[in-house]
């Protein structure tokens, strides 16, 4: 954390832009702290973090689009079938997928690649991610500014571990929900096949 603050105060917007391009939530939290401390102006911080995060999402999305066909060719048929199942879940639930992958710890980059592999419509994805990046930046920046008043830099590691733990719990219950939904759908299909 101290390293990030040192980098931001030394290199300014460039380090913020690079961090947000690679979807660093911690970078946005630190930027929020620095806005609260009047090191960086709020409009400037919002502009840099939103535009960099959005550009990053678009880059990773188009990387996913280009990887989709290559993965089908490179991987064995079983892996390609599993990738297609994941793509179907994303296509059926795009808003839930964007929300979960944006706000769960360390899944933003993988999520953007996955959205490209699922071939979500480009315009829809660009608009949805612009809205999402704006909300994410404002929320995380506000949290960073709020916590800068109450939490010492040494306590950020505990917050990071809490965030990771909560992310894992949410991933577990989301996977469980999709699994139960699939079981119910299979039961419905089997009963409809038995009783034509």
Q: Is 4 helix (H, G, I), strand (E, B) or coil?
A: helix
Counting the structural domains of the chain, the total is 1
Which two tokens mark 47?
């502009």
Q: What is the mean pLDDT of residues 137-149?
A: 80
pLDDT tens digits for range 7-65: 666 777 788 888 888 877 777 877 888 888 787 888 888 899 899 989 988 998 888 88
**CB hemisphere CA count around 6 (13 angstroms):** 4
In terms of residue numbers, what domain contains 6?
2-194
pLDDT by residue (tens digit) across 115-133?
887 778 889 889 988 988 8
Pair 49, 16: CB distance under 8 Å:
yes
Residues of the chain with pLDDT > 70, as a percent, come to 75
Instruction: Classify residue 154 by its DSSP letter.
Output: G
In the predicted model, is pLDDT for residue 137 greater than 80? yes
pLDDT digits (tens, 9 = 90+) for 172-185: 777 777 778 777 87
């Amino acid at each position: 954390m101290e390293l990030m603050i040192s980098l931001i105060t030394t290199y300014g917007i460039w380090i913020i832009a690079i961090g947000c391009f690679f979807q660093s939530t911690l970078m946005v939290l630190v930027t929020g702290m620095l806005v609260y401390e009047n090191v960086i102006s709020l409009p400037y911080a919002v502009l840099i973090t939103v535009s960099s995060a959005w550009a990053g999402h678009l880059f990773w999305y188009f990387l996913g689009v280009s990887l989709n066909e290559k993965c089908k060719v490179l991987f064995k048929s079983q892996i390609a079938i599993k990738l297609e199942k994941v793509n179907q879940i994303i296509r059926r639930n795009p808003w839930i997928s964007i929300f979960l992958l944006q706000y769960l710890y360390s899944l933003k980059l993988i999520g953007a690649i996955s959205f490209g592999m699922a071939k979500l419509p480009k315009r829809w994805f660009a608009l949805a991610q612009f809205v999402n990046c704006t909300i994410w930046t404002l929320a995380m920046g506000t949290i960073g500014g709020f916590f800068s008043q109450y939490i010492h830099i040494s306590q950020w590691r505990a917050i990071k571990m809490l965030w990771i733990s909560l992310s894992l719990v949410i991933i577990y219950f989301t996977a469980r929900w999709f699994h139960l939904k699939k079981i119910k759908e299979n039961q419905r299909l089997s009963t409809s096949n038995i009783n034509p």
